[in-house]
Structure 1
Amino acid sequence: MKFVEKYDKKGNFEMTHVIHEIPPVYDDRSKILILGSFPSVKSREGQFFYHHKQNRFWKVLAAVFEDTLPETIEEKKEFLLRHNIAIWDVIASCDIEGSSDSSIKNAVPNDFSFILKTAPIRQIYTNGGTAYKLYHKYCEKVTGFEAVKLPSTSPANASYSLERLISQWNQISNT
């Protein structure tokens, strides 16, 4: 992950400009595209999506598809492809404070065209409101797909229990 720290005129830390370097996971059978906003610090360190142990993404998907919880990066990739899921993030680079979606500035979107040309995507889902807003702002007109906003699996979304997340995310199993 490439990044550049930015400081104000007094030398105080402001933001970090980060370039997303985690490649998307997809193949020519992917029917669902799940988009996050931008990788968290833990995901950037671990070089894979939803790498933070407290993020409920993998638990939710395992429950929705009634499958074993994947643990390793390889198991997670196999899980996604087995269930015809593609995964990536809306943003290719941005200024961000830590993992805070609300701090994202100067966002540059990813180009999804190669995924959409390769895979028979039927539906795009976003993991949370920020991903949805960013997708709508930067990508929807380009892709021609309306996204469905799902509640964030982030631990910051404490108003959603695991059971409630599973209930809301269950719609992806019908795609």
Structure 2
Amino acid sequence: MSSLPMAAVTSARPEVVDLLDTPWADMPKTLNSMMKVVARITGLPLAHILGPRRTAALVKARMIGFWACRRFVGRSWHQIGTVGGGRTNSAVMSGVRRVGLVIVALKIPPETNGLDAMRLLWEADWPRFTREDLIEARRALRGAPSLFDPGHRLDLYSVSELNLAVKGAVE
């Protein structure tokens, strides 16, 4: 038994803060917090998002989480993959690239804060991209300013991505 009064014991516990109630500017930008925010936005359990299942909803949530971790935390592909359920570098890169194409196709403004962007991405019906679209996007992005680099001024809309036009997805 503790000799502390009950009020002291309960007040010593940190308050649980809902990340969705936190303003974007004040939100902690860590790998774990980004994945937790995605789980809250999607309504899917974090354990399922990070798990091995590959249902469409879980894969979409996972890709949004990868994108948010890369865009707002700026960690390496390997670090994101480790936090993202032990995924490989190429799985993380593929997810981030796919979300980048969706952002361009949906014309999400670059000034949109991260929380709103994640909500828009989750609620939207994503256009289908062919394998050729993804290969062309990869070629177009080589050596160009990347929408994946944190701090890059043209984050969401580099010239190469706009010129890509994602064959039919934007029209």
Which range, TM-score by smaller chain?
Answer: under 0.3
> Please, what TM-score do these two structures have when normalized by structure 1?
0.22
- Higher share of residues assigned helix: 2
> Please, what TM-score do these two structures have when normalized by structure 2?
0.23
Higher relative contact order (CA 8 A, sep 6+): 1
- Higher share of residues assigned strand: 1
